[in-house]
């Protein structure tokens, strides 16, 4: 029997539910639009489980396609959070073009038969660098911020934790996805366990940022 409710799917669906409650009436299109991204994330995760367990086929192409969506959405959201000048916009557009070129090149070299782990690592490096730049801009601000309730801060916290650790996982991708059948009593690869923990951290931080955003909006007279 296929199990659809895992640590990953439960954390994703819970985060989606919180975003739906907290951001549905948000006037900011970027925050409100994030609901759609989380919904797509949940659908992708369920579809991945179905393809692997019910159809008994590889699901890497599903996640390859989702990677492009993920990279685009996160970069657009970062631009919305930072939004300092046009040069940042041009830099992010240039980065997306570079990523797509690298992404399709890796797909071609893999003959469309494997997950683009190198492209995922490249994306993770860029996300970490943009996160660090966000912290830098935050430190340079003269405006006082109550970080414990500042929604963008917590959103970036979850993002940098997930992608920094995920970057390390992708570097050692081949070792972490070794067949668990060779290890008696082990039902999941090390990569699965690590990413399950990272998913909980990511979606917990994102959920808290949505809650902060909700109280920020509702507290404004």
Q: What is the DSSP code string of 183-204?
A: STT--S-HHHHHHHHHHHHHHH
Phi, psi (5° rounding) for residue 165? -70, -35
* Inside any domain, residue 119: yes
User: What integer pLDDT is reported at residue 181 of this predicted model?
Assistant: 43
pLDDT, tens digit, for every residue of 98-148? 999 999 999 999 999 999 988 998 999 999 999 999 999 999 888 888 999
Within a domain: 42: yes
Of 92 and 209, which is predicted with more confidence? 209
Q: Quick one: pLDDT at residue 188?
A: 59
Do 99 and 106 form a contact (C-beta atoms < 8 A)?
no
Q: What is the pLDDT of residues 148-163, one digit of tens each?
A: 999 999 999 999 999 9
Residue 21 has pLDDT above 90, yes or no: yes
Residue 65 placed within a domain: yes
Residue 201 lies in a domain: yes
Give how many domains the chain has, as a whole number.
Answer: 1
Q: What is the pLDDT of residues 183-216, one digit of tens each?
A: 444 455 666 778 889 999 999 999 999 999 999 8
> What CA–CA distance (Å, rounded) separates 18 from 64?
27
The structure's pTM equals 0.90
Whole-number average pLDDT of the chain:
88
Cβ atoms of 41 and 16 within 8 Å: the answer is yes
Residue 167: pLDDT band (50, 70, 90) is confident
Range of the domain at 48: 7-219
The H-or-E segment that residue 60 falls in is helix 60-82
pLDDT on residue 144: 86
Does residue 111 lie in a domain region? Answer: yes
pLDDT at position 11:
96
Under a CB-based contact definition with an 8 Å cutoff, are residues 29 and 218 in contact?
Answer: no
In a domain, residue 38? The reply is yes
Spatial distance between the Cα atoms of 132 and 127, rounded to a whole number of angstroms: 9
pLDDT band, very low/low/confident/very high, at 2 (cuts 50, 70, 90): confident
CA distance between the termini of the chain:
51
In a domain, residue 2? The reply is no
Distance of alpha carbon 103 from alpha carbon 97, whole angstroms: 10
- The rounded distance, in Å, linking the Cα atoms of 204 and 75 is 20
Residue 1 belongs to some domain of the structure:
no
pLDDT at 38 over 50: yes
């Amino acid at each position: 029997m296929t199990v659809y409710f895992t640590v990953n799917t439960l954390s994703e669906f819970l985060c989606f539910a919180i975003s739906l409650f907290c951001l549905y009436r948000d006037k900011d299109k970027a925050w409100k639009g994030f609901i759609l991204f989380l919904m797509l994330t949940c659908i992708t995760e369920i579809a991945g489980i179905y393809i692997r367990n019910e159809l008994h086929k590889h699901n890497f192409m599903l996640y390859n396609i989702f990677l492009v969506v993920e990279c685009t959405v996160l970069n657009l959201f970062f631009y919305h959070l930072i939004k300092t000048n046009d040069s940042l916009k041009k830099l992010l557009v240039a980065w997306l073009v570079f990523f797509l070129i690298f992404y399709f090149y890796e797909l071609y070299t893999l003959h469309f038969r494997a997950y683009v782990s190198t492209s995922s690592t490249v994306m993770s490096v860029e996300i970490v660098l943009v996160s660090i730049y966000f912290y830098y801009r935050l430190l340079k601000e003269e405006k006082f911020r109550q970080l414990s309730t500042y929604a963008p801060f917590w959103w970036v916290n979850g993002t940098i934790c997930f992608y920094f650790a995920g970057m390390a996982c992708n570097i050692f991708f081949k070792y972490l996805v070794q067949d668990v059948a060779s290890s008696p009593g082990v039902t999941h690869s090390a990569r699965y366990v690590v990413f399950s923990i990272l998913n909980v951290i990511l979606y917990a931080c994102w959920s808290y940022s949505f809650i902060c955003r909700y109280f920020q909006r509702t507290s404004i007279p």
